[in-house]
Chains A and B, each alone.
Chain A
Amino acid sequence: AQSVTQPDIHITVSEGASLELRCNYSYGATPYLFWYVQSPGQGLQLLLKYFSGDTLVQGIKGFEAEFKRSQSSFNLRKPSVHWSDAAEYFCAVGVSAGGTSYGKLTFGQGTILTVHP
């Protein structure tokens, strides 16, 4: 079965600083990979996703993520963080077509981002 690890429970950055949130996955084949963001009391919003092709994926709100097969990682980055980016971020892995869990997502534990002014 697939699994996702987000090593950092809580990250604090200053506004304007760069950001990298780590995500490591375990899955035998090429997975579908996602990053979601959740503001307090809200549902989850999709930031970006990777299915195949170019390993550097651009998303909304200036975020990007890079799929590194050799490291089983899909880290989320942003060059300059804004105060409005404060939220909880979830990495998720989905099984590609033909897998026994096709269509289901497995989520990491989440990383809470605090932004200092």
Chain B
Amino acid sequence: NAGVTQTPKFQVLKTGQSMTLQCAQDMNHNSMYWYRQDPGMGLRLIYYSASEGTTDKGEVPNGYNVSRLNKREFSLRLESAAPSQTSVYFCASSATGGTGYTFGSGTRLTVV
């Protein structure tokens, strides 16, 4: 089925470890996004990529890096995980202009 695929679904890290969250979409969307969801705070934008070859910071970029590998794939990297990065991470994609987002099923990350 067409959509947005995120891996892994669950991950536990120790403080200071690094990891990369993977995201791929097969809808030929130009734009891709990484959000984090925390209780009572809704979804907050970490980074986004308006089109292949471009990335830009969102509301909460500190501690993260991203790579738009090609049109399909957009990865999120935590170089040195901290407990404050415990969250549920969602990847999304959209046609240009964000008029219709499709979300992945999320990655639940715990940093101990």
Contacts and interface: CB of A to CB of B under 8 A. Distances in A.
Interface of A: 4, 6, 9, 32, 34, 42-46, 49, 51, 90, 92, 94-95, 97, 102-110
Main secondary structure, interface of B, reads: loop
B98 A44 contact: no
A103 B94 contact: yes
Given A43-B106, A90-B42, A105 B58 contact: no
Interface of B: 31, 33, 35, 40-45, 48, 50, 58, 90, 94, 96-101, 103-106
Contacts of A34: 101
A65 B43 CA distance: 21
B101 A110 contact: no
Contacts, number: 62
Contacts of A106: 45
Given A103-B97, A104-B33, A104-B48, A42 B105 contact: yes
Contact of B98 (A43, A105, A108): A105
A80 to B, nearest CB: 27
A107 B44 contact: yes
A46 B93 CA distance: 13
Contacts of B94: 103
